[in-house]
Amino acid sequence: MARMRAVDAAVAILEREGATQAFGVPGAAINPFYSAMKAHGGIRHVLARHVEGASHMAEGYTRARAGNIGVCIGTSGPAGTDMVTGLYSATADSIPILCITGQAPRSRLHKEDFQAVDITAIAKPVTKMAMTVLEPAQVPGAFQQAFHLMRSGRPGPVLIDLPLDVQLSEIEFDPDTYQPLPVYKPAATRAQAEKAMDLLASAQHPVIVAGGGIVNADAADLLVSFAEVTGVPVIPTLMGWGTIPDDHPLMAGMAGLQTAHRHGNATLLESDLVLGIGNRWANRHTGGLETYTKGRRFVHVDIEPTQIGRVFAPDYGIVSDAHAALSLLVEVAHARKGEGRLPDWSGWSAACLERKRTMHRRTHFDDTPVKPQRVYEEMNKAFGRDVRYVSSIGLSQIAAAQFLHVYGPRRWINCGQAGPLGWTAPAALGVVAADPDTPVVALSGDYDFQFLIEELAVGAQFHLPYLHVLVNNAYLGLIRQAQRQFDMDYAVQLSFENINAPETGGYGVDHVRVAEGLGCKAIRVTEPDGIADAFAEARRLMAEHRVPVVVEIVLERITNIAMGTELDNVTEFEPLATTPEDAPTAVGMMT
């Protein structure tokens, strides 16, 4: 047996488990781990500017490709607490990332040592496992268990905390004989698939709700095959967007309160049975449950047993990995079709397609300042089918979900449940690190952009080029909307007169100068006709300099709102004349 430091064993295991990329910030308590990475040389490292940013980079890295596990690393104390937001975001969206933190020596853990915090206790609620390794010989087992847990069942993050003296201790370990633990994923049975098909066959207007579990299981092709053999329309969730291309005739649109389409809501409310696969019935998708569930039956397939019945009781539940379940469902559907036992839903799917054709909203506006709808129209024109969109939260994300077009899995990368501001830029950098050959377009409002703006320097330093569309209204629109119920407009004033940059028009921060000061390129657009040219110039600058390029588009805003009476033009989207007057705009919240 070979004797080596515990950190050398840990890095050897990372390499054996397939980890090739880490994001982090070195520091005193984690430097032994960094020395092992340097000695082994098999793991690339990107130096973040903020440790929370490193955790979001790891998320983006994982989300970009099937099988990826992003690794984020920090020292003791605040490094770990900073990464908790990334762990929360990852666990909320079922994303496996490995967070490694340094820690004070074991003898000082109870003595309030400098930057010594019980990070395990803090991180446990937002991880599948959080462990401070107190015995050096446990290090290999801790890392082996971490990868097993991250990949098994519902994926999620793990934190391993390594005291300084544990890292430096020598242990017996043979990396040549190391083997990853088998991954456990529950699988549907043939009988369960037959039962689900029986329920589906009993419906006149069935729909499939496709969740992020299908993306995690790399099962989008199976979903499309199942939809095509049955002829059943598909309503993806925000996390499942792209599992069926937007231009597929069976893509019925998204449903929900915000990130939704009018035709998707209308189709959902016309349905009589919903087959949910790999979804959580999240409240932004369902809206009011009474309206969402009334008059329809539900079959729910999910990899996590406790997810079945968590939000409401389905008529039938199946605990299964989405890939395994869809494989069986496709097999059963083909068999029944060959036997003439599959209903003909062509009339229903044609009606859904007609709703999709007619219930569009107007996007072409020539107003100055620019209306947000025009931005997304130009994005759809400028970027191809293979582009990866990365976005976090806010009016920009809501409008993107309503107006952008997505054509494949992992082409829409979004923090769905947690929605931390600042997520977009570091996540986009992680996506580029995972797949530098696919174009990446990030989308932020000005406040999201400002939260972790320093991470742009990472893209410049490590040549991680992407295009960042910054829609700037200096407005905090979502927060202002929420404040209306309290009849106030308080502490939400982002704009100010920038004496060094009067061209910002009182919008405050000069994002162009800040981005360029961080080593990137930036373009400001104030006219709708300039958007397309700016995108073309941004692509040229990316190719020439291999750095992130920010395209800031100055949007309209309303500075004097009569609270409760005047609508905010930032979020009001005018429907086409062909839209039925009574078309529902939100499931569970009709307007």
Q: How far apart are CA 376 and CA 387, in angstroms?
A: 14
Q: Identify the active-site residue in 11, 46, 51, 269.
A: 51
Q: How far apart are CA 299 and CA 34, in angstroms?
A: 48
Q: How many Cβ atoms are within 10 Å of 235's Cβ, its own excluded? A: 29
Closest listed residue to residue 410, CA positions, set 443, 370, 384, 438: 438
Q: How far apart are CA 303 and CA 511, in angstroms?
A: 43
Q: How far apart are CA 422 and CA 451, in angstroms?
A: 4
Q: Is 71 a catalytic residue?
A: no
Largest CA distance in the chain: 76
Q: Is 587 a catalytic residue?
A: no
Q: Identify the active-site residue in 458, 476, 531, 587.
A: 476
- Helix (H, G, I), strand (E, B), or coil: what is residue 194? helix
Q: How far apart are CA 228 and CA 242, in angstroms?
A: 16
Q: How far apart are CA 187 and CA 197, in angstroms?
A: 16
Find out whether 137 and 185 touch, Cβ atoms under 8 Å.
no
At 270, list the tokens. Answer: 């016309």
Q: Is 467 a catalytic residue?
A: no
What is 210-221 written as a DSSP string? E-HHHHHTT-HH
Q: Is 452 a catalytic residue?
A: no
Name residue 274's beta-bridge partners. Answer: 207, 298
Opening angle at CA 237, ends 430 and 272, nearest 5? 165
At 251, list the tokens. Answer: 């893509």
Q: Which parts of 394-510 fold into alpha helices (H)?
A: 395-403, 424-434, 446-451, 456-461, 477-483
Q: Identify the active-site residue in 168, 183, 479, 558.
A: 479
Q: Identify the active-site residue in 421, 467, 478, 550.
A: 421
Give, for 171, the enclosing helix (H) or strand (E): strand 170-172
Q: How far apart are CA 247 and CA 384, in angstroms?
A: 13
Distance of CA 373 to the CA centre of its chain: 22
Q: Is 476 a catalytic residue?
A: yes
| Residues annotated catalytic, as ranges | 25, 51, 421, 476, 479
